[in-house]
Amino acid sequence: MAAQGREQRVQGIHRLALHVPDLPAARRFYRDIWLLRDQGRDGEFTAFRSPSENHDDLLLGEGPSQIAHVAFAVGSPDDLIAMAARLEAAGFPSRRIADQTLFRADAMAVAVTDPDGREIWLVAPRPGAAAAGSGHPLAPNRIGHVVLWTPAQAAAERFYTLLGFYVTDRTNAGMSFLRCNSDHHSLALMKSGKNKTGIQHIAFDVGSLDNVMRNFARLRDLGVECAWGVGRHGPGNNIFSYYADPAGNYIEYYGDMEQFDVDASVEAHIWGPEHKGDVWGVAGIPPLSFRE
C-alpha cells in the first residue's frame, strides 16, 4: 500500500548516470583517486559504488559530456505508481522502464522529463543486496546530493516539489536547496543565465571534518588540484572541498551536513549578498565556471 501525505516522496539520490568523453580516464579517476568501487559493466555503462551503499550509485558511459539520467529512490513499487500518477496529473507524463532494461539495482522504475529536459528516474530499489565495503578508510560513504543548473528555477522547483522535496534555504546568488530526508539538502538548483542544464556539482559524503581534511591531503599528495576549498558552507553548514573529474564535472567531498527531522516544517532561510559560500572566509573565490 502506498504511503500517505508527506511520506509519499523520494528518499534521496539513488544513482547518477553520466556520459563522459574519455571513459577509461574517468574510470581510473573514480576508482583509483576518488576511491569508489568499480563494479564492472551494467548495460552500456560502467558502474561504481560508494562503499556504504548496497547498489551502484554512479554510472559512466562513453559520449559527449551530459547527464543520461538522475535517479531518486522511492520506498516501494506502490509509492512509485502513486507518484507517477501525481506527476501525470500535474502535466508530467512518465514511462515505465521495461524490466529487461532495468539496471541491476532496480526492482521497478519510471522515467519522466523535468522542465529543463533532463531525464529523471524514480526507482523502487531491488532489496536484499549487501553494502560494497571498502579497504580504504577515506572512501566516500555515498552520493549525498547533486546540484543542477537550471535556466527556469521556479518551474524546476515546482517540479521537484511534486517528488516530495521542500526548499530549505535560498541564496542571493540564485541557488535553492531542497531536502527530502534528514539532510539539509539532497538536491540544489542553481540559476543559469547561460541556459545550462547540466551538473553544477556532485557531492560525496565522507562523514566528518577530519575525513575532508585527510582526503584534501591525500589528493594533494597525488597531485590533484583542489578547485575550491577547504571551507564551510552557510547553507547546510557542511565542510567542503571541490575538485574536477577528467570530464570537467565538479565533484565535492563533504562532511558534517546539517540535519533535520524529515517531517519538520522549516521556513526557507535567505542568504544575502554578504554570504560568499564559505562562512570561514578561507576558501577564496570559486572558479568562474562553477558560478555561471
- How does pLDDT run across 93-131, given as a tens digit for each residue? 999 999 999 999 999 999 999 999 999 999 999 986 666
Tell whether the model's pLDDT for residue 5 goes beyond 50.
Answer: no
Tell whether the model's pLDDT for residue 4 goes beyond 50.
Answer: no
Q: What does the block give as the cell for 8?
A: 509519499
Mean pLDDT across 159-182: 95
User: Which domains, and CATH codes, for the chain?
Assistant: 5-125 (3.10.180.10), 142-291 (3.10.180.10)
Tell whether the model's pLDDT for residue 133 goes beyond 70.
Answer: no
Nearest to 123 by CA among 66, 56, 60: 56
How many helices (H) does the chain have, and how many strands (E)? 5, 17
Strands 166-171 and 175-179: antiparallel
Least confident of 61-75, 89-103, 115-129, 200-214: 115-129
CA angle 99, 47, 188 (to 5 degrees): 90
Q: Residue 6: what pLDDT?
A: 47
Task: Using a pLDDT cut of 90, give the percent of the chain over it.
Answer: 85
Residue type, 86: R
CA angle 182, 48, 23 (to 5 degrees): 130
Mean pLDDT across 61-72: 98
Q: Are 253 and 201 in contact (CB under 8 A)?
A: no
What rounded mean pLDDT belongs to the chain?
94
Q: Residue 132: what pLDDT?
A: 61
Least confident of 1-10, 249-258, 279-288: 1-10
Interatomic CA distance for residues 133 and 223, integer angstroms: 26
Tell whether the model's pLDDT for residue 181 goes beyond 80.
Answer: yes
- For residues 279-291, one letter each, b for 16 or more C-beta atoms within 10 angstroms of the residue's C-beta and e for the rest, the string is eeeebeebeeebe
